[in-house]
Amino acid sequence: MVNIQQWASRQLKDYDESRPGTLFSEGVLLDVEEGYRLQSAVAELRRSRGECVIGYKVGCTSSTIRTQLGIDHCITGRLFDSERFQSGATLSRKRYANLAIEGELAVELSRTPEEQDFDGNGIPSCVAHVFPVIELHNYVLRGERPTAGELIANNAIHAGFVAGHGNSQLERHEEFAAGPVSISTSDQLAIDDSMNFRLLEECSSNELIPTIHSSLRWLQGILKRRGEQLSAGQIILTGSIASLIPIQGSCYIRVDIPPFGSVEASFVT
């Protein structure tokens, strides 16, 4: 029998010590339902020590990420207030296990989504704010092969996010000229006008708004089956269309997603 509570304490201890998911190196295999039960149990332990869940992430939304992780469906994890940072933050790589990042869009909800919010092609009416983020990951999978159960139990390998400010003047438009999603890096850690950036990845913006639609709709459905629901003020990371990018040394990262602005962070060893 799966001992969820015992494993939850171990999962949280491992997470706090930047060595997440060691139980999966011992041959533990979980199905999707068991993975979510373990994720929920860890979240309750984090709540009990004063952390607050501020929303959710949706992962494995694109074929690029699904290929990287060996998963063929969406997954979700929880966001915590203790792991939200503002654009321009400086973060130590030592607090993460094999740090990797994604550049994507996040939304803040004005209310619980309803089915009619997904009519049309614009940003759903339940969205109050759209902004770019750098999502942080503990890019560690310890099983013999990647499984959805391990990914989910490790909170979808989510380890926090850096939030940009967004562009409130453009969010309600049904149509707009969106530029490409670009992720760039610089070896300079101090911000100045002379910074030279090197492009890490650039991809089309065609999937941005459809991803917001599909991610919110899918998340609302899976939470309803768990007896939960989305609500006003929650933040949702809607999923990356770019790759999961390892951060292997000190660097400065910038993600540009016009017309929604940019987000930046420094990573130090």
Assigned domain for 143 exists = yes
Q: Which CATH number belongs to the domain containing residue 207 in this structure?
A: 3.90.850.10
Q: Name which residue leads in pLDDT, 231 or 62.
A: 231
Residues 6+ apart with CB under 8 A from 25: 142, 143
Structural domains counted in the chain: 1
Assigned domain for 39 exists = no
CB 103, CB 261: distance < 8 Å = no
Assigned domain for 235 exists = yes
Assigned domain for 11 exists = no
Assigned domain for 121 exists = yes
CB 76, CB 58: distance < 8 Å = yes
CB 117, CB 128: distance < 8 Å = no
Assigned domain for 48 exists = no
Q: How many CA atoms lie within 13 A of 42 on its CB side?
A: 26
CB 163, CB 136: distance < 8 Å = no
Structural domain containing residue 183: 53-268
Share of the chain above pLDDT 90, in %: 70
Mean per-residue pLDDT over the chain, rounded? 90
Q: Model confidence over 163-173: pLDDT tens digits?
A: 998 866 554 54
Which pTM value belongs to this model? 0.92
pLDDT of residue 193: 61
pLDDT of residue 1: 46
Q: Model confidence over 44-77: pLDDT tens digits?
A: 999 999 999 999 999 987 777 777 777 788 899 9
Assigned domain for 245 exists = yes
Give the model's confidence band at 144: pLDDT under 50 very low, under 70 low, under 90 confident, else very high. Answer: confident
CB 197, CB 265: distance < 8 Å = no
pLDDT of residue 188: 76
Q: Model confidence over 187-204: pLDDT tens digits?
A: 877 666 667 889 999 988
Assigned domain for 23 exists = no
